[in-house]
């Protein structure tokens, strides 16, 4: 579809042609737009409060809506239809009609009754039933060339010309059954869209001026106090103001066990209170909440196609002429219309073309239940091809919860003074190191100095002014090379702390080094097991990139034997260059990070993976988002990607194998047209059912080791991992 044809209608015109209480029937020229995504439009309409169902007939340009009959709902419906969002128009728009089981039943009954009818009635009924298929086949031949619709029409036409009306009608009934199953599979995606677009709650209880008031969710504003009790869904992002509760976050993180929360704990929209009562201070509402962002990611994922899906569609289309030419060749050699009709009923394209999107969508949705968000089918396909995994150290392999371990003041400054000075400068900087310094100062109940002219230098440090003196807090590189401050007086202390695997903050005031702050970061308890599981899944090389000093990197490598290489003291652009260098070596690279400074590397990798608490920029740059604060989500993401490709291979092999065998028997004259059509459609239904149902596998409760072991045969060819590099030789930049 040419892009210029996919521009939205300037003002869609829908007019009400019939109205009853609670029911509207409208006509609109927008329904003829070739890029209008009918599934998305239906989901939008049914997501409106008060709307029960919407049914679209694009051929008749007709739209039927059942709703609660209120004037407000009617007004909102007409306002939506008068100004459809641009998202409703897509070059690959879904144009299939909703599944119609009535048509399947009627065509099956008429096929069974065909031999019982007198010949004139049999002929009339058979041609009447065939006309829609013949018309569709002719239209497809003229507009798109040889496609599956041409094969279907040819098979029915040959049977009609032979006077074999039962075969013609039976083929039609089988085609209707196959189309119903295919449409039902497509409908699954529409149902997911409905679930994502439908608001979960419309009214809430809020506290204003000490009084609990029931209000519409749309009226809630940041700063309000929201009151929630057992069984209620939390519709906003916020912080617990008072109360304690157990909160189920399964819809967001895949974690099945309720999480205890108390005053000060963050809570996310989409969570459900298992027990207890909470008063929550509202921070984010509407489109800015976690659930809204998750829904947008999922919505995009379900509506986009990967290169693999495009390739499977192209392959399926190329196989149609093969079937058609085989049928013509059989007829030319045998003059047997029945044998030619049998060949034409066998089509490779249905199962190959449809199993890919069905399996991909099912597994993307399964991944979301396991706490993993894939931003589209391409991300799922790309992750399957990854053989090298690159980690940013802080917040990925480590918890990111840095803790102040040592304070080394100089030049007459004491420990509380050093800590207060650094915390004042770092107070407004959202970084694990900054949070650790500020938290330590708060724990010691230190009063922080007044700070002005704060300037954040990404991945380097912070500059601020205290009492007209410039204060710098950051790495040695930042202070010494960028700001020209002599740090050699601290070398003895720095070497001893580095040897312990600690990270250092250098603090300067008035152009003079006034102290060191040493911090430690705990390794995630599941990290070693996760790295082993990833190796089992076919990851050949694991690389850790860090801005920390060499000794901290070496200490991590010693603690985690699954690490092959470590690169230290890297700037953000150097991390991106390292990732690019690995790709230039022919490796398929995934990068896992969580900070603003990780965004360049996330974009440079074949697949960028963001941690749950990643900065907004990192979340936007990532193709895959983990929603659970541990590495089990990473293993689940890799396992699901591998599993999906295995399902797709099985579907393709089954389709080609079964249809090739069926065609060979049809060419040999062993199978009559009805049997050939039954085998073809039966295999298509079976393959699509396997693709859809296999996506229901539960990954969220699968342990790391067993998830990897279950898919170990997929990576048998990659079983030999490269030897682990020594830390001294690790720097590959």
Q: What is the pLDDT of residues 263-274, one digit of tens each?
A: 988 887 777 787
Beta carbons of 374 and 608 less than 8 angstroms apart? no
What pLDDT is stored for residue 185 in this prediction?
A: 60
Calculate mean pLDDT across residues 485-512.
87
- Whether 345 and 377 map to the same domain: the answer is no
What pLDDT is stored for residue 112 in this prediction?
A: 83
- Cα angle 700, 703, 704 (rounded to 5 degrees) comes to 105
- Whether 314 and 447 map to the same domain: the answer is no
Last residue of a domain, one of 274, 297, 320: 297
CATH number, domain containing residue 613: 3.40.50.1000
- In whole angstroms, how far apart are CA 467 and each of 421, 438, 471? 11, 20, 10
Helices (H), 585-716: 599-604, 616-621, 632-667, 673-693, 704-710
The 3-class SS string of 80-132 reads HHHCCCHHHECCCCCCCCCCCHHHHHHHHHHHHHHHHCCHHHHHHHHHHHHHH
369-373, 607-611, 725-729: least confident range: 725-729
Taking 80 as the threshold, does the pLDDT of residue 731 lie above it?
A: no
31: closest CA among 56, 10, 6, 1? Answer: 56
Last residue of a domain, one of 486, 520, 554: 520
Residue 700 lies in a domain: no
- Whether 508 and 546 map to the same domain: the answer is no
Instruction: Report the number of distinct structural domains present in the chain.
Output: 5
- Whether 514 and 438 map to the same domain: the answer is yes
Q: Which residue has the higher pLDDT, 366 or 291?
A: 366
- Whether 353 and 370 map to the same domain: the answer is no
Distance CA 601, CA 353 (A): 35
Q: Which residue has the higher pLDDT, 659 or 1?
A: 659
- Average pLDDT value over all residues in the chain: 78
Distance CA 234, CA 267 (A): 8
Residues 6+ apart with CB under 8 A from 537: 635, 638, 639, 642, 708, 711, 712, 714, 715
Taking 80 as the threshold, does the pLDDT of residue 247 lie above it?
A: yes
Residue 698 lies in a domain: no
- Whether 331 and 467 map to the same domain: the answer is no
What pLDDT is stored for residue 100 in this prediction?
A: 65
Taking 50 as the threshold, does the pLDDT of residue 716 lie above it?
A: no
Burial of 188 (0-12, 13-18, 19+ CB in 10 A): middle
Beta carbons of 426 and 581 less than 8 angstroms apart? no
What pLDDT is stored for residue 502 in this prediction?
A: 81
- Whether 43 and 133 map to the same domain: the answer is no
Most confident range (mean pLDDT) of 308-317, 380-389, 605-614 is 380-389
What pLDDT is stored for residue 706 in this prediction?
A: 47
Task: State in Å, rounded, how far the first CA of the chain is from the last one.
Answer: 44
Q: What is the pLDDT of residues 75-92, one digit of tens each?
A: 888 888 888 877 677 665
DSSP state of 504: E
Last residue of a domain, one of 487, 520, 553: 520
In the structure encoding, which two tokens stand for residue 604, read together? 């440079």
Question: DSSP 3-state assignment of 245?
Answer: strand
- Whether 234 and 378 map to the same domain: the answer is no
Please, which pLDDT band fits residue 345 given cuts at 50, 70 and 90? confident
Question: DSSP 3-state assignment of 449?
Answer: coil
Residue 172 lies in a domain: yes
What pLDDT is stored for residue 198 in this prediction?
A: 52
CATH number, domain containing residue 62: 3.30.1360
**Which domain does 246 fall in, by range?**
203-297
Taking 50 as the threshold, does the pLDDT of residue 193 lie above it?
A: no
CATH number, domain containing residue 238: 2.70.150.10
- Whether 344 and 369 map to the same domain: the answer is no
Please name every residue paired with 403 in a beta bridge, in sequence order, or none if there are none. Answer: 520
Helices (H), 198-289: 250-253
Residue 82 lies in a domain: yes
Side-chain-side CA neighbours of 537 within 13 Å: the count stands at 31
Taking 60 as the threshold, does the pLDDT of residue 710 lie above it?
A: no
What pLDDT is stored for residue 725 in this prediction?
A: 35
3-17, 118-132, 451-465: least confident range: 3-17
92-106, 233-247, 672-686: least confident range: 92-106
Please, which pLDDT band fits residue 4 given cuts at 50, 70 and 90? very low
297: closest CA among 626, 629, 695, 635? Answer: 626
What pLDDT is stored for residue 306 in this prediction?
A: 63
Phi, psi at residue 315, to the nearest 5°? -60, -45
Q: Give, to the nearest 10 degrees, the angle between helix 632-667 and helix 337-344.
A: 180
- Whether 493 and 599 map to the same domain: the answer is no
Please, which pLDDT band fits residue 378 given cuts at 50, 70 and 90? confident
Q: How much of the chain exceeds pLDDT 70, in percent?
A: 81
Q: What is the pLDDT of residues 421-432, one digit of tens each?
A: 999 888 877 677
Q: Are strands 23-28 and 469-474 parallel, antiparallel or unpaired?
A: unpaired
Give CB contacts under 8 A, 24+ apart, made by 207-214. Answer: 207/279
- Whether 632 and 533 map to the same domain: the answer is yes
Residue 644 lies in a domain: no
Taking 70 as the threshold, does the pLDDT of residue 597 lie above it?
A: no
Residue 322 lies in a domain: yes
Taking 90 as the threshold, does the pLDDT of residue 539 lie above it?
A: yes
What pLDDT is stored for residue 642 in this prediction?
A: 92
442: closest CA among 464, 462, 420? Answer: 420
Taking 50 as the threshold, does the pLDDT of residue 713 lie above it?
A: no
What pLDDT is stored for residue 294 in this prediction?
A: 56
Please, which pLDDT band fits residue 723 given cuts at 50, 70 and 90? very low
What pLDDT is stored for residue 595 in this prediction?
A: 64
Q: What is the pLDDT of residues 39-59, one digit of tens each?
A: 778 777 876 777 888 888 877
What pLDDT is stored for residue 141 in this prediction?
A: 83
Calculate mean pLDDT across residues 392-411.
84
DSSP for 318-374, please give it. HHHHHHHHHHHHHHHHH--HHHHHHHHT--SHHHHHHHHHHHHHHHHHHHHHTTEEE
Residues 6+ apart with CB under 8 A from 116: none
Beta carbons of 478 and 457 less than 8 angstroms apart? yes
Q: Which residue has the higher pLDDT, 97 or 28?
A: 28
Q: What is the pLDDT of residues 287-297, one digit of tens each?
A: 556 555 555 55
- Whether 532 and 659 map to the same domain: the answer is no
Residue 307 lies in a domain: yes
Residue 329 lies in a domain: yes
């Amino acid at each position: 579809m040419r892009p210029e044809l996919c521009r939205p209608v300037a003002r869609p015109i829908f007019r009400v042609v019939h109205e009853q209480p609670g029911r509207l029937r409208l006509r609109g020229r927008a329904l003829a737009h070739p890029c209008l995504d009918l599934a998305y439009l239906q989901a939008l309409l049914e997501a409106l409060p008060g709307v029960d169902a919407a049914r679209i007939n694009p051929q008749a340009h007709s739209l039927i809506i059942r709703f609660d009959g209120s004037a407000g709902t009617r007004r909102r419906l007409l306002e939506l239809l008068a100004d459809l969002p641009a998202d409703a128009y897509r070059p690959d728009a879904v144009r299939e009609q909703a599944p119609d089981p009535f048509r399947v039943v009627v065509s099956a009954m008429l096929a069974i009754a065909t031999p019982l009818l007198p010949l004139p009635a049999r002929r009339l009924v058979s041609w009447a039933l065939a006309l829609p298929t013949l018309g569709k086949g002719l239209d497809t031949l003229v507009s798109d060339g040889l496609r599956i619709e041409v094969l279907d029409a040819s098979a029915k036409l040959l049977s009609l010309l032979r006077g074999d009306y039962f075969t013609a009608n039976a083929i039609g009934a089988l085609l209707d059954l196959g189309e119903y199953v295919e449409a039902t599979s497509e409908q699954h995606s529409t149902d997911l869209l409905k679930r994502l677009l439908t608001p979960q709650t419309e009214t809430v209880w809020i506290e204003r001026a000490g009084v609990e008031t029931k209000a519409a969710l749309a009226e809630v504003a940041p700063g309000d106090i929201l009151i929630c009790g057992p069984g209620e869904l939390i519709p906003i992002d916020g912080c617990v103001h008072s109360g304690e509760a157990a909160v189920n976050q399964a819809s967001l993180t895949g974690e099945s066990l309720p999480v205890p929360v108390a005053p000060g704990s963050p809570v996310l929209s989409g969570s459900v209170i298992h027990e207890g009562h909470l008063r929550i201070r509202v921070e984010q509402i509407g489109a800015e909440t976690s659930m809204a962002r998750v829904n947008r990611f999922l919505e995009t994922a379900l509506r986009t196609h990967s290169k693999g899906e495009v390739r499977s569609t192209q392959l399926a289309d190329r196989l149609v002429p093969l079937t058609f030419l085989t049928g013509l060749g059989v007829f030319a050699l045998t003059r047997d219309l029945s044998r030619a009709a049998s060949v034409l009923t066998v089509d490779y394209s249905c199962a190959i073309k449809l199993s890919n999107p069905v399996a991909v969508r099912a597994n993307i949705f399964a991944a979301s239940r396991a706490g993993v968000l894939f931003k589209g089918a391409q991300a799922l396909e790309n992750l399957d091809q990854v053989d090298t995994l690159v980690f940013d150290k802080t917040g990925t392999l480590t918890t990111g919860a840095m803790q102040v371990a040592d304070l080394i003041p100089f030049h007459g400054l004491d420990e509380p003074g050093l800590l207060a000075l650094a915390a004042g400068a770092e107070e407004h900087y959202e970084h694990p190191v900054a949070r650790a310094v500020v938290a330590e100062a708060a724990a010691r109940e230190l009063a922080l100095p007044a700070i002005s002219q704060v300037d954040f230098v990404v991945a380097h440090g912070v500059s601020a002014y205290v009492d007209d003196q410039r204060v710098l807090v950051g790495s040695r590189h930042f202070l010494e090379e960028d700001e020209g401050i002599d740090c050699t007086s601290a070398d003895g202390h720095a070497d001893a702390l580095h040897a312990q695997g600690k990270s250092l903050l250098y603090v300067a005031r008035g152009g003079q080094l006034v102290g060191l702050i040493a911090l430690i970061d705990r390794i995630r308890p599941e990290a070693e097991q996760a790295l082993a599981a990833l190796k089992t899944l076919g990851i050949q090389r694991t690389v850790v990139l860090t801005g920390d000093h060499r000794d901290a990197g070496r200490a991590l490598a010693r603690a985690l034997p699954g690490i092959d290489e470590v690169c230290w003291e890297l700037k953000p652009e150097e991390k991106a260059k390292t990732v690019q260098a690995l790709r230039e070596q022919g490796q398929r690279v995934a990068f896992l990070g969580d900070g603003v400074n990780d965004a360049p590397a996330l974009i440079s990798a074949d697949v960028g993976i963001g941690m749950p608490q990643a900065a907004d920029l990192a979340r936007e740059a990532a193709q895959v988002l983990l929603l659970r604060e541990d590495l089990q989500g990473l293993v689940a993401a890799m396992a699901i990607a591998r599993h999906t490709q295995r399902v797709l291979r099985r579907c393709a092999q089954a389709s080609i194998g079964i249809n090739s065998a069926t065609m060979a028997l049809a060419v040999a004259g062993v199978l009559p047209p009805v049997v050939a059509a039954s085998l073809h459609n039966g295999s298509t239904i079976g393959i699509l059912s396997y693709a859809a149902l296999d996506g229901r596998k539960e990954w969220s409760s699968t342990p790391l080791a067993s998830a990897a072991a279950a898919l170990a045969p997929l990576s048998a060819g990659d079983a030999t991992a490269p030897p682990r590099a020594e830390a001294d030789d690790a720097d590959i930049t």
